[in-house]
Structure 1
């Protein structure tokens, strides 16, 4: 019996647009065939079946396009290929396999030539990495401000309408930026000339704004002077004011003390005297910084600093505190520790005592001047002296007061330690005196830094002052309630107050109608 793998009967049915029906039946007797011929025939037959399927599909697609109701072509299924036995062959004479294959391939090429379309042309890609303003728009206002053009210059330029960036607004008119730039170069000649003119007009505009701002500030101050009298002495400003006089006095006295203490240290070599010399030098430098801060704090506000420069006093005081801590405390500790490690023989302290006594008198006088200024400021602000100092209402005077107080205590400590060293003939008490003076300077510097940092960060005004402002507002007939109240002390007796107010709409309307002549208003309305 012949195996199934060695028997092949091809029976292919194909419904085509051009040829109708094509029946191919081929019967071969593989009994005497070689295996190579068998495999060759199998591959050719398989290729022929696949080609017939392709031709049938293409012809069916073409028929469907031309006919509105085409008949559904029968599908070619390889399963239709049936194997039959070789006992009763029933074959019809047909063309040879090679001729049929060539015929089908020629029809396939004709169908492809009819259906193949030319490939579409590729669009050139836009280079997104290149910077360009060729397609940018510009508004008329920006064109006039940036390129110094007039409305008459823009009339000849092409324009278009664009959607407004603001809600419920009509479309806006815009120009192409390249056209505006070309027009500006035509008027001004070059970009350099345009830049010079823009800079010139910007300087003139800022000067004009500063003049307007100054006039408004003067008018506001004038209206304030005509209003209720205040307890705060607002005219007490600048270096000629109360704080400025205290600082200038302290600069003169501390500079003199620094020179005398320097000569005493060079003569005696005392560690405590060196600490006092450094202390006076640090006080002099810091008070010069305070004088600059006071001078800057009274500068008139401008468009860049609409609230003025009142905080410059706090900045100068903060720098002063850091200087005292770094220079005064650091050098005093260094010299005291070096005196303990490498002791030197004690010299005669006779002249040093006289210089310390004179320094005690001068520092004490400056301390009294500063204390008197603090007392007046606390009285005018309805505060106690302790609260006035801790809240840093006048940081410049506070720094002078604390520095002079530390200087008086330091002079007493230095004189005591020097006396003990003279009596015991030991340099250790003198070195310990330098360390104690450094501790005093460090404590004062830490307090100055803390109070000024708190003022610069933003500190609320006392609650009683906030309640007074709220009570004054609540008495107004137009205000029904006050919410979310904040009051910040800005220094220089200025307060920034913020609150959410609930206005009475009826009272506001009634006040508005009272200012109008209803008879004339009704007559105009009727007319």
Structure 2
């Protein structure tokens, strides 16, 4: 049996592939998104109070939820990179998913809950809004800021997808880096929410019916609900112990089977330990003529081969076993 000890990831292409968008680039993306949301939230609150618009107040809640989410995501990035110790021999990578799940939960409760409740109240009360001018200005400025933040997130997604040689959509589906996925979804939802708020305000002003303002608020809440549910589901899957991507599993099989003394792999298990770390455990049938020294040498070679192909593999356990059947 062979197990690898935590070592620094090499500063080469494989290391960048293993990061998959995590690290400094993700921290920068989260910080930019967080600062943008703080400024936007303050402006929306002022505009919402002046106009009395439910949609604007929902957008304010949306930005406040996003700001809190960025703080939690920043915490996830910082906590998740703590090195392994005696109490946590596989490191703290999964802790990043805990904080990211809390971020999704906060968006679900604070953002979606407030928006839907406030929208329903506005639909029933039919309260007349105040001046719309400030709201339109804030929406336009917010759209420009959110578009800038989303552009950075999209650039990171495309760069990471290019290194993996997959489409950006597939990268977002399979990437274990939930922070960039969260920022991308939040910024996308923010832009759609701004459009919904603007449409609600415009229709309410044109028709004199506050129903449209309330409906826009409810729509924003449902939008947040979808985003939060998507992120929560992704983080729960990783917390439970999601396997590495099929592409990595195929690579692991190829490299282990390429070792001369290996006859076949009876069982192969992989698990994503964090945004950059993968565990590999396999029951391997070695050649009947293989000695103990041959098996030890094969285990070491397997570790070297796997790390050379994908440096995100941090732990390798090979268990010699007899062929079944």
TM-score bin (small chain): 0.7 to 0.9
Change (3 A) 1:316 1:425: same
Question: In the alignment, what sits opposite 2:17?
Answer: 232
Tell whether 2:112 aligns with 1:326: no
Change (3 A) 1:229 1:441: closer
Q: Secondary structure at the match of 1:290?
A: helix
Change (3 A) 1:415 1:226: closer
Question: In the alignment, what sits opposite 1:408?
Answer: 191
2:80 to 297, 302, 313: 297
1:256 to 17, 31, 39: 39
1:365 to 136, 141, 148: 148
Question: In the alignment, what sits opposite 1:91?
Answer: none
Change (3 A) 1:285 1:424: same
CA distance in 1, matches of 2:21, 2:115: 37
8 Å contact kept, 1:286–1:323: yes
Change (3 A) 1:348 1:235: closer
2:97 to 314, 317, 320: 314
Higher helix share: 2
CA distance in 2, matches of 1:227, 1:251: 30
Q: Secondary structure at the match of 1:257?
A: helix
Question: In the alignment, what sits opposite 2:126?
Answer: 343
Change (3 A) 1:242 1:233: farther
Structure-2-length-normalised TM-score: 0.84
CA distance in 1, matches of 2:239, 2:229: 15
2:230 to 422, 438, 447: 447
CA distance in 1, matches of 2:160, 2:13: 19
CA distance in 1, matches of 2:18, 2:281: 24
Tell whether 2:136 aligns with 1:353: yes
CA deviation map 1:259-301 (0-9, x unaligned): 0001111111111100000000000011101101100011111
Please show how residues 83-482 of structure 1 align to structure 2 within 5 Å: 217=6, 220-221=7-8, 225=10, 229-232=14-17, 234=19, 238=23, 241-482=24-265
8 Å contact kept, 2:271–2:280: yes
Alignment length (residue pairs): 291
1:410 Cα deviation after fit: 0.3
Gaps of 5+ in 2: 296-325
Structure-1-length-normalised TM-score: 0.53
CA distance in 2, matches of 1:459, 1:296: 20
Q: Secondary structure at the match of 1:477?
A: coil
Tell whether 2:275 aligns with 1:492: yes
Change (3 A) 1:511 1:487: closer
CA RMSD in angstroms, aligned pairs only: 2.2
8 Å contact kept, 1:392–1:451: no
Q: Secondary structure at the match of 1:502?
A: strand
8 Å contact kept, 1:298–1:310: yes
CA distance in 1, matches of 2:128, 2:166: 52
8 Å contact kept, 1:271–1:339: yes
CA distance in 2, matches of 1:439, 1:296: 31
Gaps of 5+ in 1: 1-215, 513-527
8 Å contact kept, 2:263–2:286: yes
CA deviation map 1:346-385 (0-9, x unaligned): 3220111000000001111111111111122222233322
Larger radius of gyration: 1
> Higher relative CO (CA 8 A, sep ≥ 6), structure 1 or 2?
2
